[in-house]
Amino acid sequence: MKVQQISVFLENKSGRLAMLTKVLAQEKINIRALSIADTTDFGILRLIVDQPDAAYLMLKRAGFTVSETAVIAVEIPDHPGGLAEILDILAGAEINIEYCYALPQKSNDKALVVFRVERLDEAIRVLLEKGIGVLKEDSVYGI
């Protein structure tokens, strides 16, 4: 139920992101979702890709500082308050959310959100007990 996320440290310089995406494109690695948190000097690029192991190796070989993180991809009802319902479930279990970002979804009735949480296994268990869809890796990578 966990999804492998690639995180890349990027200097805040012109062309750095373009170089990274070119490395992935040359290896036929498709980006499924991304998020960038930045400061004036650097950024952290978080990626969900269709081939995380290959992406990790290729980016390392290209000289990028790369790490892997386990996250969860959660199906959220696509209506006002849908996200609040999920956040209430996690808050009720006292599970802290470190960050989250959206994934593209082909369905019109569900949104997909990636969560990095403390106590990942417990978060998966609590969500599943409440009937919330937590996607498997192959489902996320194949979107």
Q: Do domains 2-68 and 70-141 have the same CATH topology?
A: yes
Residue 93 Ramachandran class (φ > 0 left, ψ -120 to 50 alpha, else beta) = alpha
Q: Where along the chain do its domains lie?
A: 2-68, 70-141
Q: What is the pTM of this model?
A: 0.86
48-94 residue pLDDT tens: 999 999 999 999 999 999 999 999 999 998 889 999 999 999 999 99
CA 107-88-99 angle, to 5 degrees, is 70
Q: Which CATH architecture has domain 70-141?
A: 2-Layer Sandwich (3.30)
Amino acid at position 99, single letter? Y
Is-contact 100 114, C-beta < 8 A?
Answer: yes
- For helices 52-61 and 16-26, the axis angle rounded to 10 degrees is 120
Q: Distances in Å between the alpha carbon of 39 and those of 12, 18, 35, 47, 133?
A: 8, 18, 14, 18, 34
Query: Distance between CA 59 and CA 46 in Å, rounded?
Result: 13
The band of 143, judged by pLDDT with boundaries at 50, 70 and 90, is low
In this structure, what DSSP letter does residue 43 have? E
- The 8-class DSSP code of residue 134 comes to B
CA distances from 23 to 10, 43, 78, 82, 91 (A): 14, 18, 34, 36, 39
**What CATH number has the domain spanning 2-68?**
3.30.2130.10
How far apart are alpha carbons 21 and 121 in whole angstroms? 31
pLDDT digits (tens, 9 = 90+) for 99-130: 999 987 766 678 889 999 999 999 999 999 99
Q: Which two tokens stand for residue 50?
A: 């269709």
pLDDT, tens digit (0-9, with 9 covering 90-100), for 11-30: 888 899 999 999 999 999 99
